[in-house]
């Protein structure tokens, strides 16, 4: 998919990767970009930058875990710009906790990191299928392919997000709807940097796995990945080789990860 002339909806787009994608899509000539986030003020600033540069965008307050909010975004996008061509479910949540995380943290991780993508597909697919084309971009993580020592809810739910994306691709690609899973490793965002500063093992493991990228680097990879309609969009190219090595010998992979990160009771 070329972004030029397309209508795009993004969640979690007021900061970080989401904001960088919104700006890049607009620069690519998107017909309209819906920038949604819980932080409406920051979303409006992203939109102001886009419109100042001649792009078309609107900001909306939305909870990415709410199916009704996501349905509202599709409705607003259609009213303002036309049918949605690309829905980017990008919001994410991490708590830096192990298997003994509070039930509320497990539930929130599941609602944001998994059910957001389920609901996005539910609200975006009907119109896409009726038109015979469309695109779902699921922001998962390299953690969804390689795991994240030290953060059980994040690792588990990101694996689930990749699994959902794969199921959607198998099911709907024959009907004209493409699906990609965006799986970066470390990116300089408010989700990762506080953990690095605090010395959290999950954040440190991600930072050590590959060089930290800027959000704009990820947006660049997304544009190219959409253009070639790759299922896995990997801003860190090293993930491809590492993922293949993991698949070739999972026990060896687990042992190596234990040695590299150190065993911790969590």
pLDDT digits 0-9 by tens, 170-199:
999 999 999 999 999 877 776 655 655 555
* Alpha helices, H only, 28-175: 40-52, 67-80, 103-110, 116-131, 143-146, 152-172
Mean pLDDT value across residues 102-109: 96
What average pLDDT does range 30-57 have in this prediction? 98
Within 8 A by CB and 6+ apart from 48, the residues are none
Comparing 19-28, 80-89, 232-241, which segment has the lowest mean pLDDT?
232-241
Q: Annotated catalytic, 154? A: yes
Cβ–Cβ under 8 Å, residues 134 and 77: no
- Across residues 123-152, what is the average pLDDT? 93
Beta bridge partners of 34: 9, 58
Q: 0.75 cut: is pTM over it? A: yes
Q: Is 192 helix (H, G, I), strand (E, B) or coil?
A: coil
For residue 257, name the pLDDT band (cuts at 50, 70, 90): confident
- Please state, in angstroms and rounded to a whole number, the distance separating the CA atoms of residues 3 and 190: 27
On average, the pLDDT of the chain sits at: 91
Neighbours of 126 (CB within 10 A): 12
Bridge partners of 144?
A: none
Confidence of residue 260 (pLDDT cuts 50, 70, 90): confident
Q: Is 87 exposed, middle or buried (0-12, 13-18, 19+ CB in 10 A)?
A: buried
Do 7 and 85 form a contact (C-beta atoms < 8 A)?
yes
Q: At what angle do helices 116-131 and 67-80 cross, to 10 degrees?
A: 40
Catalogue all structural domains in the chain, each as residue range(s) with its CATH number: 7-261 (3.40.50.720)
pLDDT, residue 264, reads 46
Q: Identify the pLDDT of residue 265.
A: 44
Per-residue pLDDT, averaged over 53-71, amounts to 98
Percent helix / strand / coil, the chain, rounded to 5? 55, 15, 30
Q: Say how far apart CA 163 and CA 40 lie, in whole Å.
A: 31
Report, as an integer, the average pLDDT of 49-62. 98
Active-site residue among 135, 154, 172, 243?
154
Question: What is the mean predicted confidence (pLDDT) over 203-228?
Answer: 84
């Amino acid at each position: 998919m070329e972004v030029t002339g397309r209508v795009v909806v993004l969640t979690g787009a007021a900061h970080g990767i989401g904001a960088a994608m919104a700006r890049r899509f607009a620069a690519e000539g998107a017909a309209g970009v819906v920038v949604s986030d819980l932080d409406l003020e920051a979303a409006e600033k992203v939109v102001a930058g886009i419109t100042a540069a001649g792009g078309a965008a609107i900001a909306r307050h939305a909870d990415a875990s709410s199916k009704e909010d996501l349905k509202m975004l599709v409705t607003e996008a259609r009213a303002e710009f036309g049918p949605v061509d690309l829905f980017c479910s990008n919001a994410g949540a991490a708590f830096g906790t192990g298997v003994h995380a509070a039930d509320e943290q497990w539930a929130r991780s599941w609602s944001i990191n998994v059910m957001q993508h389920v609901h996005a597909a539910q609200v975006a697919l009907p119109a896409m299928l009726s038109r015979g084309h469309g695109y779902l971009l699921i922001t998962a993580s390299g953690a969804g392919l390689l795991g994240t020592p030290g953060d059980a809810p994040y690792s588990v739910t990101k694996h689930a997000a990749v699994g959902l994306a794969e199921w959607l691709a198998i099911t709907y690609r024959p009907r004209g709807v493409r699906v990609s899973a965006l799986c970066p490793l470390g990116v300089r965002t408010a989700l990762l940097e506080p953990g690095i500063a605090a010395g959290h093992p999950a954040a440190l493991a991600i930072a050590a796995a590959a060089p930290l990228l800027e959000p704009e680097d990820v947006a660049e990879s997304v544009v190219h990945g959409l253009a070639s309609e790759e299922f896995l969009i990997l801003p860190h190219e090293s993930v491809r080789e590492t993922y293949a090595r993991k698949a070739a010998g999972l026990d060896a992979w687990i042992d190596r990860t234990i040695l590299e990160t150190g065993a911790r009771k969590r």
